[in-house]
């Protein structure tokens, strides 16, 4: 396995003891990752792929909670990486550089760098990250020990006047719209809250081509449930009870067709790792420990 080069953290969030930020070399350039220090030597590895408008920083506060919930004698590592165009990862120019195949190709390179062919990973795809993760499981199922579909739908997000308007505003205003929409009461200046300040910095750093590319993918990707069911990869579906990004029936229907469990986390919306981290950690560790 390749050696990972340490890089500075993105944003002001404090990394818990044991967490580090690395660069993973890929054809597109360096993709930055957040991981426990034992990432290259641990017996088990969980890889989290963030969603639309997100990055590895979405898991800075969650990973310590997750690691505390594990009772594995330190044999597990966790990692999340920022996809191309997110935060401080490589950002090629042009919307044509942000196809679904591009994102899947990057992810496969990341897994290869991490030695997934010899150490299959527990893959967790959040939102758009789940769209990517499904296709990783199809492309290299032997490298995926398990797949958790986390607040991600098998079918595209329904188009509406609201989604079309949002895409138009994003194209005209730019990535800063993400911050302004999430925190409309706050100005665009340095924020005292570390997470909010990271969110603001990320909104400025993330590529507009990335956002427009992913928004197009989210309205048009293919349903691969039938193919996914034939991989033999153990799977779980989990989402927040208050998650409104996809209609709840989309989550339930995919789980039914795959014959897998679907878990709804009370008190959480689209990002349960932020809203209810302990509950999500309990769900994940229980699922992983059930796999032989």
pLDDT at position 170: 86
Distance CA 229, CA 265 (A): 24
Distance CA 68, CA 264 (A): 22
Digit-coded pLDDT (tens) for 101-148: 999 999 999 999 999 999 999 999 999 999 999 999 999 999 999 999
- Residue, of 258 and 73, whose pLDDT is higher: 258
Asked if 156 contacts 127 with a C-beta cutoff of 8 angstroms, the reply is: no
* Residue ranges with strand state E in 186-289: 235-240, 262-265
pLDDT averaged over every residue in the chain? 95
At 42, list the tokens: 């641990």
pLDDT at position 2: 61
Q: What is the mean pLDDT of residues 169-185?
A: 90
Distance CA 23, CA 30 (A): 6
Q: Is pLDDT at 10 greater than 60 in this prediction?
A: yes
Asked if 31 contacts 210 with a C-beta cutoff of 8 angstroms, the reply is: no
Q: What is the mean pLDDT of residues 206-223?
A: 96
Q: Is pLDDT at 208 greater than 70 in this prediction?
A: yes
Please report where in the chains the tokens 């062919």 appear, as a residue.
117
DSSP letter (8 states) at residue 2 = P
* Residue ranges with strand state E in the chain: 5-6, 19-26, 29-36, 44-49, 76-81, 121-126, 144-150, 235-240, 262-265
pLDDT at position 292: 75
Orientation angle between helical segments 100-113 and 128-139, nearest 10 degrees: 60
At 222, list the tokens: 């293919």
Distance CA 83, CA 202 (A): 13
Digit-coded pLDDT (tens) for 183-204: 999 999 999 999 999 999 999 9
At 230, list the tokens: 């034939």
Q: Is pLDDT at 159 greater than 80 in this prediction?
A: no
Digit-coded pLDDT (tens) for 33-81: 999 999 999 999 999 999 999 999 999 999 999 999 987 767 999 999 9
């Amino acid at each position: 396995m390749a050696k990972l080069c340490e890089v500075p953290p993105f944003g002001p969030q404090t990394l818990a003891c044991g967490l580090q930020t690395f660069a993973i070399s890929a054809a597109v350039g360096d993709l930055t990752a957040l991981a426990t220090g034992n990432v290259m030597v641990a017996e088990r590895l969980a890889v989290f792929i963030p969603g639309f408008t997100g990055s590895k920083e979405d898991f800075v506060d969650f990973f310590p909670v997750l690691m505390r919930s594990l009772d594995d004698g330190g044999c597990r590592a966790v990692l999340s990486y920022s996809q191309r165009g997110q935060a401080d990862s490589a950002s090629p120019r042009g919307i044509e550089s942000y196809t679904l195949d591009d994102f899947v190709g990057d992810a496969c390179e990341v897994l290869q760098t991490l030695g997934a062919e010899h150490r299959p990973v527990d893959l967790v795809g959040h939102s758009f990250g789940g769209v990517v993760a499904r296709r990783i499981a199809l492309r290299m199922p032997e490298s995926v020990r398990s797949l958790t579909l986390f607040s991600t739908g098998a079918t595209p997000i329904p188009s509406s006047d609201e989604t079309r308007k949002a895409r138009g505003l994003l194209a005209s205003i730019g990535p800063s719209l993400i911050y302004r929409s999430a925190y409309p009461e706050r100005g665009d200046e340095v924020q005292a809250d570390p997470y909010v300040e990271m969110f603001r910095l990320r909104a400025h750093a993330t590529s507009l081509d990335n956002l427009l590319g992913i928004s197009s993918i989210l309205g048009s990707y293919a349903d691969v449930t039938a193919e996914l069911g034939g991989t033999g990869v153990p799977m779980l579906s989990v989402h927040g009870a208050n998650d409104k990004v996809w209609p709840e029936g989309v989550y339930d229907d995919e789980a039914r067709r795959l014959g897998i469990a679907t878990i709804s986390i009370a008190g959480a919306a689209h990002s349960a790792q932020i809203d209810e981290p302990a509950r999500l950690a309990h769900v994940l560790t229980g699922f992983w420990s059930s796999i032989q």
